Amino acid sequence: MDWHNKTLLLIGGTGSFGSAFIKCLTGKYQPGALRIFSRDEHKQTKLLNTYAGVGDGNNVSGFIGDIRDKDRLMMAMDDVDIVIHAAALKQVQSCEYNPFETIKTNILGSMNIIECALAHNVDKVLAISTDKAVAPLNLYGASKMCMERLFVHANNYRGANRSTKFCCTRYGNVADSRGTIVPVWREILAKRGTISITNPKATRFWIKMGDANQFVLDVVEAMDLYDGGEIFVPRMASVNIMTVYHAITDGLTTFNVTGDRIGDKVHETLILPEEIKHTIETNLGYVIYPEEPHWKYDIPEGDQPAYRDGYRSDNNVQFLNKEEIKETLH
């Protein structure tokens, strides 16, 4: 794919993923133009200053806006070729406490993105999902599950006159991203405080930010080979929560077990056993193709995944040790 003549709109571009993604994208692919859409003026201005601000012949520009505002999205999406949707309310406990706001942003906002993309006949729209969308136990996960369903079946709406493809990526915890245990624990460690651990037996999927960024870029290119409606899942390592604790603290502070919070799981799942039935494994990773598409669809070719009971953080063949976890946090 020739990125040089593509205009890309990154929605939620000032978050942990978005900020790192822009650096990866502009450093390696250099798209014709990049538009950053976010609602935080301070963060957006700071980010744009890294790219010499708006204008001055620079191909990076900023749109202040909220995905709840369909009119603003419609304006931002004019003449766009590729949309990356990374905007969401993401903190599990905050989403539980603010359910109306979570639904307005994560579900209704995603609907706005779909409708605007269809109106502008955008080539590709890729949404960033999470392992918490799989068999969700909390509102954040449930809202992302709805977002996935919206994006998969949005391909129904393109009809014969539009070429827009809608797909999703789904992956687990991104090492050192904002709001995760790594920065929280490091802050506690700096104060020599006591670290809270919900369940010492817990396992999680684990991916470096750079690898997550590259996976998304690879998926954007791979979408040319598919008919739309796929959920792309990378191969990921797993970690035990206590191994993460030792990697971060080196025993310099103590911990206490608080018990599971609302919506917590002991282990995370990236692909359900029921989804494995319509999943293939490729060089890119795993591709969950739509089970009953109502648009023209050719089932993609690939190998059958080995994880017949689902792809979970506890049955993963690859676990990181303490030193390997440390390497991901540099």
Q: pLDDT tens across 19-43, in order?
A: 889 888 888 888 999 999 999 999 9
Is residue 322 situated within a structural domain? Answer: no
pLDDT tier at 112, thresholds 50, 70, 90: very high
Can you tell me the distance from the alpha carbon of 211 to that of 269, in angstroms, rounded to the nearest whole number?
A: 19
Q: Which residue has the tokens 């969308």?
A: 133
What pLDDT, on a 0 to 100 scale, did the predictor assign at position 294?
Answer: 92
Pairing of strands 203-207, 173-174: parallel
Longest dimension (CA), the chain: 62
> What number is the average pLDDT over the span 127-140?
96
Asked if 132 contacts 92 with a C-beta cutoff of 8 angstroms, the reply is: yes
Closest C-alpha among 179, 158, 26, 219 to residue 92 = 179
* Cα 58 to Cα 33: distance, rounded to the nearest angstrom: 8
Cβ–Cβ < 8 Å for 147, 110: yes
Minimum mean pLDDT range among 57-61, 118-122, 246-250 = 57-61
In a domain, 329, yes or no: no
**Torsion (CA) 87, 111, 64, 46 in degrees, nearest 10:** 10
In a domain, 315, yes or no: no
Is the residue at 185 inside a domain?
Answer: no
- Partnered with residue 163 across adjacent β-strands are none
Determine contact, residues 219/232, Cβ cutoff 8 Å: yes
For residue 315, the 8-state DSSP code is: S
Q: Which position has the higher pLDDT, 179 or 211?
A: 211
Residue 242 lies in a domain: no
Q: Which two tokens stand for residue 123?
A: 């080539």
Distance CA 270, CA 134 (A): 7
Whole-number percent of the chain with pLDDT over 90: 70
Domain-located, residue 317: no
Q: Per the structure, how many domains does the chain have?
A: 1
Average pLDDT, the chain: 92
Pairing type for strands 311-312 and 269-271 reads antiparallel
Helices and strands in the chain, H and E counts: 12, 16
**Cβ(162)–Cβ(295) below 8 Å:** no
Q: Please state the pTM of the whole predicted model.
A: 0.94
Q: Among 11-25, 32-46, 77-91, which is the least confidently predicted range?
A: 11-25
Contacts of 75-78 spanning 24+ positions with Cβ under 8 A = 76/9, 76/35, 76/37, 77/9, 77/116, 77/117, 77/119, 77/120, 77/122, 78/120
Domain that holds residue 78: 3-172+208-235+269-308
Query: In this predicted structure, what is the pLDDT of residue 317?
Result: 93
Tokens of 217: 């870029």
Residue 295 pLDDT level (bands cut at 50, 70, 90): very high
Q: Which pLDDT value is given to residue 54? A: 44
Of 102-116, 156-170, 173-187, 292-306, the range with the lowest mean pLDDT is: 173-187
Q: Is residue 200, in this structure, part of any structural domain at all?
A: no
Supply the DSSP symbol for 223.
G
CA distance 249 to 295: 51
- Catalytically active residues, by annotation: 132
pLDDT band of residue 58 (cuts 50, 70, 90) is low
Tell me the two tokens of residue 222. 């791979």
Asked whether residue 196 is domain-assigned, the answer is no
Residue 88: CATH number of its domain: 3.40.50.720
